[in-house]
Structure formats: structure tokens, C-alpha cells
Amino acid sequence: MKNIANYISISRAIISIMLAITETFSATFYIIYIYCGISDMLDGFVARKSKNTSKIGAILDSTADMIFVIMAMIKILPSLNLSKGMIIWIVIIALIKVTNVLCSYIYYKKLVLPHTVANKITGFILFIAPFIIVNTNSMIFEIIICGIASFAAVQEGHYIRTRTF
């Protein structure tokens, strides 16, 4: 039971993949989606409370987060009527994030995934997005999400380049 936080992260990664077989915005989709959000908060809390934080745990958490985000985007983005400009903006954010990961590996010979406040805010806003987008005019919300995500991605790259992670 020492590594329960790692098991929570692993379960999030596996269950995130199950989003692929659900109908977007269905009850099953939301159950899986909410589980992934709760498990994301829970794994770090459990690791800190049990004093079992580790580098592998941080990598498992970040990997599970990436899998969840990718699966959620694969399911949600096609359901939205995004403008060409918004799609380009999302692709640019993704390219910045990928560049950050590649640069961290090239510069430091290790994977660096800074857990910045801006990244946490972006994650929270992205997490609540499916609940808001379904019930509102999503254009303003999409602009807010992309603006915050852009700032977080650029800040993350700055932290990696200046070794302030």
C-alpha cells in the first residue's frame, strides 16, 4: 500500500483511455471524466500525506495527465464548432508544450514537467470546460481557455530554459 498514489495515477491513465469508447457528453463520459479529475487531485494529496512522493510518481502523474488530456481532446474537440483560427491557436499551444518537453530532454537529459500555478489553473479550467461548453456560447470561454493555456505554455518554457523548475 506504500505506492497507492502511483496506483491512482496508473488507474487514471487506463481509465482515460476508456473515454475513447464512450459517447461524448453522455453520463458514462462524465463519470469517467469526473473520476479522472478526482484521481488527479487525489494522487498528489495521498503521496504527500503518506510521505511517499517520488520522481517516478511525478512522472506517472504527468503521464496520466497527458493521456487524459489527449483522450478528452480527441472526444471533445470534434463536438465543438471551432473556427479555423481557434484550431490554429490550439495547435500552436500543443506545439509549444511539445517543444518544452523536447527542450527539457535535450538540455537536461531528463523529462521536466513543471507544475506551475498557471499549468494548474489551465488544467482546472480545461477540466470544467465540458460542463460549461455544453450549456453556453463557448466562443468567449474558448478564448479565455486558450489565452490562459498560452500563458502557461510560454511560462513553462521559460522555467525550463532558466532552470527555475
What's the pLDDT tens digit per position in 60-85?
A: 998 998 899 899 989 998 888 888 99
60 and 90 within one domain: no
Q: Is the pLDDT of residue 163 over 80?
A: yes
91 and 48 within one domain: no
165 and 103 within one domain: yes
49 and 7 within one domain: yes
134 and 97 within one domain: yes
| 22-46: average pLDDT | 94
Runs of H (alpha helix) within 50-137: 55-76, 84-108, 117-133
108 and 68 within one domain: no
Half-sphere CA count of 92, side-chain side, radius 13 A: 13
Q: Is the pLDDT of residue 25 over 80?
A: yes
Domain span including residue 37: 1-74
Q: What is the C-alpha separation between 35 and 127, in angstroms, rounded?
A: 11
Half-sphere CA count of 76, side-chain side, radius 13 A: 22
- The secondary structure of 3-48 as a DSSP string is THHHHHHHHHHHHHHGGGGSPTTSHHHHHHHHHHHHHHHHHHHHHH
Q: What angle do CA 66, 112, 101 make, to 5 degrees?
A: 60
Element (H, E) at 144: helix 138-162
161 and 103 within one domain: yes
93 and 66 within one domain: no
Q: Is the pLDDT of residue 1 over 80?
A: no
**Where is the domain boundary, 35, 53, 74?**
74
28 and 108 within one domain: no
| 40-55: average pLDDT | 90
